[in-house]
Amino acid sequence: MTIAEAIENETSETSATTTPEPTVTFDDLGLPQNLLNAVKELGFVKPSTIQERAIPELLNGADITGIAQTGTGKTAAFGLPMLAALDPNLREVQALVLAPTRELALQVSEAIESFATHINGLEVLAVYGGSPYPPQIRALKNGVQVVVGTPGRVIDHLERGTLDLSNVRFLVLDEADEMLRMGFAEDVERVFSEAPRERQVALFSATMPPQIRRVAQQHLNNPVEIAVARQSTTVSSVTQDYAIVPFRHKTGSLFRVLATSDADAAIVFCRTRGAAEEVGSALVERGISAATISGDVAQKDREKIVERLRAGQLDVLVATDVAARGLDVERIGLVVNFDIPGEPEAYVHRIGRTGRAGRTGRALSFVTPSERNKLKFIERTIRTKLNEVEIPSPADVSEHKTKKMLDSLESRIQAGRLSMYEGLIAQYLESNETEAVTVAAALAAIAVGDSGPRAHAEQAEYEAQVAEDRKAKKIREERGEGRFKDRSGRGDRFDRGDKRDRGDRRGRDRGAESGTRYRLSVGHKDGAEPRGIVGALTNEGGLSGRDLGRIDIFGSFSLVDINTNMDDDMIGRISRARVSGKPLRIRVDDGGPAPRGKSKFEDRGRGSRDRSDKRSRNSDRSDRFSKSRHGGRNFK
Ligand code: ADP
Ligand code: MG
């Protein structure tokens, strides 16, 4: 296959051909078991495209040229078949990998070492400029099988007679274009001339300039050309952001992201068809011009929708991966991964829907607290760190809208015909003692405010929460509690559950807002632990784990969020249940002193569905008590 054909194959993912290719696993590639084990231990599940294509060819003994960008998994593509070809019992240099820089040489040698963990006696040595010779020379004398080095240092060793290439049977040029750019062409030639004729060569390069073609023609033996077009790499014109968003805040977050975006059009990716449809209709309900395409929307309808998007009749497309294959619409300035994909390739494909035709684009991925590992995996694979951002608050949305409105003010003033309004405003100012700026502000708020994405009460609650979290964060930072500066702490903004205390319950954000806060009469002093409390609530109270939210354990008592209605019977049972030998004596938390008698607590139990008690839970732990103590508002 020619390179052009290969690229064609990679990129011709038109929306017409949506049949997924059968999945190839590492086991299908013909690698020996010890390497397969190592690969599994590294957490590689599925071979990347370049691996899938290069490994069988190299195992067959062919030379290859691989055109692939950074992050496509080239190291394993050559490293695994290379290790399969070596004899660990022979203590001579059998494989040489040339890499342009010290960092790359180190990286590659470490990767090869990790692939070789189950090969006894296999040694890998990295040689690069700027490091002392003696240890390298010693290692070479002791007999390493794989040398990974920068061309300059490799030549130095050749000249000193400390490196012998006469037994090399596997030669790799990694990032060949970079090596030539750095002026290593002659050194590379020299290496080729010193290595035996009978050897296998793998040449990898992100690009194929004529100079590299010449090298390949001259030194490679009928190479199989493998090209992977941009598939697992990302486009630099796309800004890649992520935000930690607990699951149930996703839809609200999406509205605010869309409401503050300046993109002409956006595409929102969901994992499943069901989710896409739900999100699509939620957007339409809020007056956003959106449509959903999933795999089972007929091809013709899909084309119509895409046409409307292109023509500007539609602003937001909600889609699943399958449905968005090959979508190429210049207007798309924003891609939202409503659900972050598990596969880096899907991620790359998705964000490639923006930044088309030389435009810039933005990709924003929603990551739930328990999906951080998916994010890490994507970052590792594409070798790019995503920027953490915060989801705009409702206030940000209002501000954005107001600014937009102010931007159009000038032209509205120019357009004239304002005298009726001027008259009314002047009259108002005269008869009321109000500043003009206040009047303008109130008008702006009216114009912008109520169409905000959240109902007022909810919005106020949300803003209070954000403000408190910021305050708490600031206090922690001022105290110099470095670990709290950790980015992961940001999730607190939405998920007020304190992850550090909740351990494995961190992914559960449901209790944070939707339940009722109860107080239990056991605490640290009694030796209470979350496990015991959860056990008592689920066993004695018949609650399920899903009903439980955040648990905070204090000295003599604990607080727990329970998001289900409990009848008196349940409350009674839980109340009598013992943790660390003490009855739990559950009651709704009002921040007051411990309960004295059963009747009082039962009273409270019934009052627990009072909405106002929600508010007390929104405060940070430190001021929760003082607040609710003033109010005592639960049981008026
Ligand atoms: P390249 O040389 O093409 O830039 P690397 O070989 O350095 O890419 O691989 C990039 C990252 O992807 C590394 O962290 C590597 O461990 C990881 N990686 C490679 N192949 C796979 C795979 N099949 N599955 C998961 N991760 C992989
Ligand atoms: Mg590499």
Residue-range domain boundaries for the chain: 3-227, 238-392, 396-448, 515-604
Quick one: which atom of ligand 1 is closest to the CA of 48?
Answer: 23
Residues 6+ apart with CB under 8 A from 95: 82, 85, 86, 145, 146, 147, 168, 169, 170, 171, 172
Nearest protein CA to atom 22 of ligand 1, as residue: 44
Do β-strands 238-244 and 224-227 pair in parallel, antiparallel, or remain unpaired?
A: unpaired
627 three-class SS: helix
Nearest protein CA to atom 23 of ligand 1, as residue: 47
Do β-strands 558-562 and 548-553 pair in parallel, antiparallel, or remain unpaired?
A: antiparallel
pLDDT score for 93: 97
pLDDT score for 465: 59
Instruction: DSSP for 199-230, please give it.
Output: -EEEEEESS--HHHHHHHHHHSSSPEEEE--S
Rounded CA separation 278/632 (Å)? 40
Quick one: which atom of ligand 1 is closest to the CA of 26?
Answer: 23
Rounded CA separation 434/5 (Å)? 72
For a ligand 1 pocket test, name from 75, 101, 175, 234 the mutation site with the most ligand atoms within 8 angstroms of its C-beta.
75
* Assigned token pair, 3: 């390179």
C-beta of 292 in contact with ligand 1 (< 6 A) = no
Closest by Cα among 522, 518, 501 to 579: 522
Rounded CA separation 149/614 (Å)? 62
471 three-class SS: helix
* Assigned token pair, 247: 């699951």
Q: What is the distance, to the nearest Å, from the Cα of residue 320 to the centroid of all Cα atoms in its chain?
A: 17
Rounded CA separation 128/156 (Å)? 10
Q: What's the one-letter identity of residue 291?
A: A
Q: How close is the Cα of 42 to the center of ligand 1, in Å?
A: 10
E strand or H helix at 114: helix 102-115
pLDDT score for 136: 94
Rounded CA separation 24/46 (Å)? 7
The CATH number of 3-227, from 1.10.510.10, 3.90.320.10, 3.40.50.300, 3.20.20.150, is 3.40.50.300
pLDDT score for 624: 30
pLDDT score for 232: 36
Kindly state which CATH superfamily the domain 238-392 is placed in. Answer: P-loop containing nucleotide triphosphate hydrolases (3.40.50.300)
pLDDT score for 464: 60
pLDDT score for 462: 53
Closest by Cα among 225, 86, 236 to 147: 86
C-beta of 381 in contact with ligand 1 (< 6 A) = yes
C-beta of 48 in contact with ligand 1 (< 6 A) = yes
Q: What predicted TM-score, i.e. pTM, was given to this entire model?
A: 0.44
Asked if the domains 238-392 and 515-604 are classified in one and the same CATH topology, the answer is no
Quick one: which atom of ligand 1 is closest to the CA of 72?
Answer: 3
Quick one: which atom of ligand 1 is closest to the CA of 108?
Answer: 7
pLDDT score for 468: 65
Rounded CA separation 313/114 (Å)? 53
C-beta of 49 in contact with ligand 1 (< 6 A) = no
C-beta of 114 in contact with ligand 1 (< 6 A) = no
Residues of the chain with pLDDT under 70: 1-22, 229-236, 325-326, 356-359, 449-473, 476-515, 590-636
Does the domain at residues 515-604 carry the CATH identifier 3.20.20.80? no
For a ligand 1 pocket test, name from 108, 175, 383 the mutation site with the most ligand atoms within 8 angstroms of its C-beta.
383
204 three-class SS: strand
Quick one: which atom of ligand 1 is closest to the CA of 111?
Answer: 16
Ligand (nearest to CA of 68): 1
Residue 618 exposure: Cα atoms within 13 Å on the Cβ side: 20
In degrees, to the nearest 5, what angle opens at C-alpha 135 toward C-alphas 129 and 138? 120
Rounded to 10 degrees, what is the CA torsion of 15, 308, 411, 406? -60
Q: How close is the Cα of 113 to the center of ligand 1, in Å?
A: 14
Q: How close is the Cα of 146 to the center of ligand 2, in Å?
A: 16
C-beta of 40 in contact with ligand 1 (< 6 A) = no
Residue 126 exposure: Cα atoms within 13 Å on the Cβ side: 19
Q: How close is the Cα of 110 to the center of ligand 1, in Å?
A: 12
C-beta of 75 in contact with ligand 1 (< 6 A) = yes
Rounded CA separation 41/115 (Å)? 9
Q: What's the one-letter identity of residue 442?
A: A
